[in-house]
Amino acid sequence: MKIIIVGCGKVGTALAGELGKDGNSISVIDTNADRVNDIVNKYDAMGIVGDGLDHLTLKEADIEHADLFIAMTGSDEQNLLCCLMAKKTGNCQTIARVRSPRYSKEAPFIKDELGLAMVINPEYAAAAEIARILRFPSAIKIDTFARGRIELLKFRLPEDSPLVGLAVKDIVSKLHCNVLICTVERGEEAYIANGDFVFESKDIISIIAPHKSANEFFKKINYKTLSAKNVIIAGGGNISHYLCKTLSRSSNISVKVIERKLERCKELSSELETTTVIHGDASDKALLLEEGLENADGFVALTNLDEENIFLSLFAKQVGNAKAITKINRIDFDEVISRLDLDTTIYPKNITTETIVRYVRAAQNAIGSNVETLYNVVKDKIEAAEFIIKEGSAITGVQLSMLKFKPNVLIAAILRNGQVIVPRGNDMLQPGDSVIIVSDILGMKDITDILK
């Protein structure tokens, strides 16, 4: 696909890299020449210094032949106007990043009226992911497939876990759980687990299972499965606003937000009827303890400073048993941050990038691809992709054990007629099935990519 990206900030840069790796033709536009040059020098992309609202700039980027236009500037209004200009000048699909809560209710209307392919709100998406984690605190991360029927859950093994010393093949016989072990991260290494793989403490494990089966599995390995009932949020920005709105739909969750700006506290208090808003500095340890951090089930660090969020989460883990969730804005140091003893880290910029990459892969259906959903299970190492099996596919009607797969390919789950199947060797894929594939083959576009 020919893709034009306006806005060369961190998300625009990440998108240029990820979409370029998939073989798309990328052009970037920004008024900042240094940013444009950085992307051109780093990736196989064409760069234009100019304004995405300018007709001649869009012409220079060859908007007439573009398939997709993505507006990622720092202004919601500019992103929407850029998409309008792109649609008037060319004939392409358009995606706009729109972050302000004042537009959140109007997002479906804006999308339909302006004819956008997608309106993406990174803060809202981050809040939705945080809410999923708070409802299932055992997990570090939760990704969903098949419209929420199948979950991929990532969690860390504590030293006293009953799984330590067991092999993957022992789980079914000893725990009688209908789950599939997908990946294991150990230090710098990532593995697609086979039956003989033996677990060690502090391994990070990904499983795929229906929600009910995941609950049963975590109970049997003595993991906390009840959702958080008492949550403290540090920072009152847009993510906090969306998160409180989401959590307020559950009447049995108590939420406190600590925000240092008085004016912002007044805004939140007027908009969030069921949330307790406290005017204070969330980095004040005495205040956190006074507000009940020691007894909280969940703690979410959402200040504007990554360093402060990290320290606050580490402090929360030190003084209590809260599930700690840490927002990180900078994506440059994710490998360093992954080595810290944090429960869950949320990268809004990564969420945006992954969502758009998923859309682009799915949009290529018309030219032979059938990927529906895509997640990075282990960044730049292992992906999980959902495919819809089409009529006449070379992979149907043959027992899985008879197919010749490439190394490190795992058929993780099958959804057929609303029923989730944990696949075994004698199962066969059928047209219409949704199939989850976990593999170290990055950039899969078609189900047959997994065959030798």
How confident is the model at residue 15, as a pLDDT?
A: 92
* Residue 199 within a domain: yes
292 and 255 housed in the same domain? yes
pLDDT, one tens digit per residue, over 377-411 is 887 788 888 888 888 787 888 888 888 888 888 88
How confident is the model at residue 450, as a pLDDT?
A: 86
pLDDT, one tens digit per residue, over 214-256 is 888 888 888 876 788 999 999 999 999 999 999 988 768 899 9
Alpha carbon distance 235, 334 (integer Å): 21
- What's the CATH number where 87 sits? 3.40.50.720
Phi, psi of 229 (to 5 degrees): -110, -20
69 and 162 housed in the same domain? no
Mean pLDDT of the region 400-429: 87
Q: Residue type for 11, please?
A: V
pLDDT band at 30 (very low <50, low <70, confident <90, very high): very high
380 and 291 housed in the same domain? no
pLDDT band at 370 (very low <50, low <70, confident <90, very high): low
Q: Are strands 323-327 and 344-346 parallel, antiparallel or unpaired?
A: parallel
How confident is the model at residue 448, as a pLDDT?
A: 81
Alpha carbon distance 68, 415 (integer Å): 31
11 and 116 housed in the same domain? yes
* Residue 328 within a domain: yes
272 and 366 housed in the same domain? no
How confident is the model at residue 312, as a pLDDT?
A: 96
308 and 393 housed in the same domain? no
Alpha carbon distance 302, 244 (integer Å): 12
> Is the torsion defined by CA of 106, 108, 112, 114 positive or negative?
positive
pLDDT at 93 over 50: yes
Q: What is the mean pLDDT of the chain?
A: 88
Neighbours of 135 (CB within 10 A): 17
- What's the CATH number where 437 sits? 3.30.70.1450
* Residue 378 within a domain: yes
pLDDT at 365 over 80: no
* Residue 352 within a domain: no
132 and 112 housed in the same domain? no
Alpha carbon distance 261, 368 (integer Å): 52
Mean pLDDT of the region 267-273: 92
Q: Taking a C-beta distance cutoff of 8 angstroms, is the pair 4, 68 a contact?
A: yes
How confident is the model at residue 286, as a pLDDT?
A: 95
75 and 25 housed in the same domain? yes
Residue 361 token pair:
């892969």
pLDDT at 444 over 80: no
**How far, CA to CA in Å, does 423 sit from each of 37, 184, 217, 412?**
48, 19, 18, 7
Last residue of a domain, one of 161, 194, 220: 220
144 and 212 housed in the same domain? yes
pLDDT at 364 over 70: no
pLDDT band at 366 (very low <50, low <70, confident <90, very high): very low
Range of the domain at 238: 230-346
* Residue 353 within a domain: no
How confident is the model at residue 368, as a pLDDT?
A: 42
Mean pLDDT of the region 144-157: 82
Last residue of a domain, one of 311, 346, 381: 346
By C-alpha distance, which of 327, 175, 160, 315 is closest to 240?
327
* Residue 357 within a domain: no
The number of domains in the chain is 4
Return left, alpha or beta for 379; rule: phi > 0 is left, psi -120 to 50 is alpha, else beta.
Answer: beta
Q: Give the whole-number percent of the chain exceeding pLDDT 70.
A: 98
How confident is the model at residue 367, as a pLDDT?
A: 41
How confident is the model at residue 412, as a pLDDT?
A: 87
Alpha carbon distance 183, 206 (integer Å): 5
Last residue of a domain, one of 220, 250, 282: 220
53 and 162 housed in the same domain? no
10 Å CB burial of residue 212 (0-12, 13-18, 19+) is exposed
* Residue 356 within a domain: no
10 Å CB burial of residue 219 (0-12, 13-18, 19+) is middle
pLDDT, one tens digit per residue, over 329-363 is 887 777 778 778 888 999 988 888 888 887 887 77
pLDDT, one tens digit per residue, over 296-321 is 999 999 999 999 999 999 999 999 98
212 and 249 housed in the same domain? no
* Residue 423 within a domain: yes
111 and 158 housed in the same domain? no
Mean pLDDT of the region 116-139: 89
